[in-house]
């Protein structure tokens, strides 16, 4: 059974629209993360959460907003989508901050 | 400031050959170090981890890495590579209690049959 679920697996959006990427982990971890990977940039850290609190934000744009409704959920809302947002977005979790992370399968977002 | 350097963007070896992927880190405190592998169109998988103790750590699929505090390195090794080892390998640095995780830029390994 997958321990970190990301939904959807593929997502196509039009420029200017808004989408939410879902991440749920069933590992009992306390820390969760979002990363982005595209052809133009290697793996890029976006956010980290610990006990549902934002710990680090390396995303310059406020169009990216993480949302943690439950301890094992960390969704990513992206507004006013741009073609440059096209990438694969990975969610990860770790037992606590600093420990090894486990990654989800990713959501591949294409913005037209 | 923390940083990780993987000096080799691409490495090509023949199947059966030995492998070393280099990783240098910069951190003034006690580092936690990891190697991850990413196969095409997949997420990242943890290969091995180092927190403390024996500087040589064993990972999955015959991989091992050696921590060197004096050299600030955490090189990944494998005695005999297989074509299925072709992937991108990331060296990662973190520390206890910190949310700061630093990824290297990755080394793309190609194993020729």
Query: What separation in angstroms does the CA of B48 have from each of A38, A69, B35, B69, B71?
Result: 25, 32, 6, 17, 19
Q: What pLDDT is attached to residue A82? A: 97
Return mean pLDDT, chain A: 93
Q: Tens of pLDDT along A2-30?
A: 799 999 999 999 999 999 999 999 999 99
pLDDT digits (tens, 9 = 90+) for B41-61: 888 999 999 999 999 999 999
Q: Quick one: tokens of A44? A: 């890029």
Residue of B nearest to A50 (CA): B99
Collapsing DSSP states into helix, strand and coil, what is residue A102?
strand
> How many Å lie between the alpha carbon of A55 and the closest alpha carbon of chain B?
7
Closest C-alpha among A24, A41, A44, A7 to residue A102 = A24
Q: How far apart are CA B64 and CA B48, in angstroms?
A: 7
CA distance linking residue A91 with residue A75, whole number of Å: 9
Percentage above 90 pLDDT, chain B: 84
Contact A102 B46 (CB under 8 A): yes
Instruction: Provide the token pair at A38.
Output: 């595209």
A98 closest CA partner among B36, B95, B8, B44: B95
Look at A43 and B46 and tell me if their CB atoms are within 8 Å: no
């Amino acid at each position: 059974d997958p321990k970190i679920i990301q939904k959807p697996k593929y997502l196509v959006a039009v420029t200017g629209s808004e989408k939410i990427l879902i991440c749920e982990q069933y590992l009992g971890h306390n820390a969760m993360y979002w990363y982005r990977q595209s052809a133009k940039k290697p793996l890029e850290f976006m956010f980290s959460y610990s006990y549902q609190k934002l710990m680090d934000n390396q995303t310059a744009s406020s169009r990216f907003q993480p949302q943690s409704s439950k301890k094992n959920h960390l969704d990513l809302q992206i507004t006013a989508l741009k073609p440059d947002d096209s990438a694969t977005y990975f969610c990860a979790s770790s037992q606590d901050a600093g420990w090894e992370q486990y990654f989800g399968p990713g959501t591949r977002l294409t913005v037209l | 400031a923390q940083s990780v350097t993987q000096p080799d963007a691409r490495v090509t070896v023949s199947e059966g050959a030995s492998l070393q992927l280099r990783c240098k880190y910069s951190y003034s405190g006690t580092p936690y170090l990891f190697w991850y592998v990413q196969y095409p169109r997949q997420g990242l998988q943890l290969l091995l981890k180092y927190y403390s103790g024996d500087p040589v750590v064993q990972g999955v699929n015959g991989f091992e890495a050696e921590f060197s505090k004096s050299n600030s390195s955490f090189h990944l090794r494998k005695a005999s590579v297989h074509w299925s080892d072709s992937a991108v390998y990331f060296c990662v640095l973190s520390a206890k209690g910190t949310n700061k995780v630093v990824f290297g830029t990755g080394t793309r390994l190609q194993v020729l049959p």
